Structures are given as C-alpha cells and as structure tokens.
Structure 1
Amino acid sequence: MKTPPIVSPQEWDAARSRLLQAEKQLTRARDALAAQRRRMPWQAVEQEYAFDGPGGRRSLPDLFDGRRQLVVYRAFFEPGVTGWPDHACPGCSMVADHIGNLAHLNARDTTLVLASRAPQPEIERVKERMGWSMPWYTITDGFDTDFGVDEWHGTNAFIRDGDRVFRTYFINARGDEALGSTWSYLDMTALGRQETWEDSPEGYPQTPPYEWWNWHDEYGTTERAEPTG
C-alpha cells in the first residue's frame, strides 16, 4: 500500500483547511439540492393501495399514522431474495441497520415505514432477530410496480393534504446509501427540516433550528433538552 506523504502538524492543518473548503461547498450544494426538492411538483396518488400490518389491513393514508408526511423504503424480503427466509437482502438489511430513532422524524410530522412482500409473521420474526423496531408492512398489490420499486429497492416520499395523498420525491440505487439519519430523510421530503434557515417556498412550516430537538423519549412533554456546544 502506497501511503500519502507524512507531514508535520502544521502542514496537516493546512491540507485539512484546503479540503474543508471543498467540504463546505458540498454541504451548500446539498442544501441547494434539498431546496429544489421542496419545489418539485407533486404527483397525485389516485389509486387505492392496501398493506397488511400487525394490526390488519391498512391503506396508504393509514401508513401516515396521522402525520403529514410519509417516507416508504421498499425492502426486499420475500421468497426468491438472497437471505430468505432468515434474512432480508444484505443491502436492505444494512439500510435497516442505519435507521435512527424514529421519534425525531415523528417530531417533524413525518412517518417512516418499510414495505416488503413477505407476510407479516415472517417480517415480525426477522425484526425480532435483527433488533429492528420500525413499522414494516406487507405489500399486497401493485404499489411496488407503480412507484418504481418492484425490481430494486428505493425510497418514496409522500405528503397528505386532507384526504389526498401526493408523491413528492423518490431516491433509489446509490442514493439510498446516504439515507438513514433524521436529517437525510427530512431533506428528501417536501417540507424539509422545517427550520428557518432553509430556502423553502413561502408559507412552509418552519421553526428555529435546534429548538425542536429533544431526547427521543421526551417529545410531547414539557421537558426539553437545551442545546449546548
């Protein structure tokens, strides 16, 4: 293995400062891309879809669980997929392992769920084995075909306006590799992080950054973590 040059602390700091400028440019570019997502046209979901869940049959609006936004990751766990019946596919399992505590997404009026074609008993069994707790539903119709995830994994974002549901964005292939944190999921939604620094269309919900952050077991209480650092 041919290593990079070995330098002094001063030279290392200078090299790091040069790279930091490129990293900041990348951060600003990601913010600009997220702002474009918030201005994407919406696709009306006119067809009804049905999913099986632990509590029985659920519609697509039901998956929102009363919140305004919904993110659906199509995980491949079903007969014919590598790992069946003991595991979901290796890549989808890695995505599941990287999902953070969902209380933070929920605090931004956003629900995240997984969907596969495996029956619920198999899904519950693999969730218990792998230590996963996210909502995970069974696709029963053409949802996966209609939203581009019948042959490959992908993540769709939806929003509700009253009783109507709209598709707002879609990320798949290597784009899914960057997902997993609260921030990455919010950045793909129509409403974004909902913070005042964001470039969002007029009237979008926004609050000051940091002020909504909380311990994941304290959302909805009067207790709130005070940001430090």
Structure 2
Amino acid sequence: MLWAVSRAPLEKIQGYKERMGWTFPWASSFGCDFNSDFSVSFAEEEQRKGDIEYNYRREAPMEGMATQMPEVVVANANMTGTDAATYVLERPGMSAFVLEDGHLYHTYSTYARGLDALWGMYQWLDRAPKGRNETGMWWRRHDEYDAQG
C-alpha cells in the first residue's frame, strides 16, 4: 500500500489532500525524526557545515544559503508557501517497507534522480517531438489553471 509522509502538521496535510481530491493515506512526520532518519530533512547548520549525506553521498557546505539561491529554488519555495532557505532543508526521497511477522523492515530507498521513474508524465513528455516544450515553472495544480491562463 502506498503511503505519503510529509513534515507538515497533519491538519495542513489533510487540507491540501482534500483540495487536491486525493484519497491515498498520508501521514505527518511533524515533530519527529522520521525524515531525518531517512536522509530527506536537514538542519540549516548541517547544510552550512556540509555535514549531510543525501543520495548516498556527502554534500559540500552550502555557503550563503539565504542570499544566493538559484531562481528555480526561490520559485519552488514560493509555490510551496515557504522561503528558499527553509525549502532546501527538505529533499525528495522514497522508501519502501514491509511488515512481516510483526517486524517492520526497510527494504529500499531512492532519492533525487532515482525518483524520475515515478513521475509517469515525464516519461511521455520526454519522448514527444518537442519534449516538455515549456520553460520555467510550467506545472500547475489542477485548481490553478484558470488563475494562470
């Protein structure tokens, strides 16, 4: 069974889930170490010092985090309702687990580009004659199309 986990408070997750019309189970890891334990959430100090491992490799320090963010990072942060410095403390990841005989086992994790295969639309668009044929922030939520033309 697919479950999603986000670091936001459950009330915020449930509101967004309802807005999108989604029905899959979605849990909150707000206030616990679940995301950190699976290397998808980091403290600002960890990033500043280069003391994080993401996608099975150690990352270099991020100097000037609050002032030198790429434009796409700032745009993504705005789209999710946060600032860029906070946005980069979270990274995408997917983990699989199995429950057998009352024991929970972590069976698989992937990060970054390892997630591309899960985004089915990219597979089709990347094979089209003009590819994605868009620039910048081209994806929108289903309830945002009329507002953005």
Taking structure 2 as the reference length, the TM-score comes to: 0.44
- TM-score using structure 1 length: 0.29
Higher helix share: 2
Larger Rg: 1
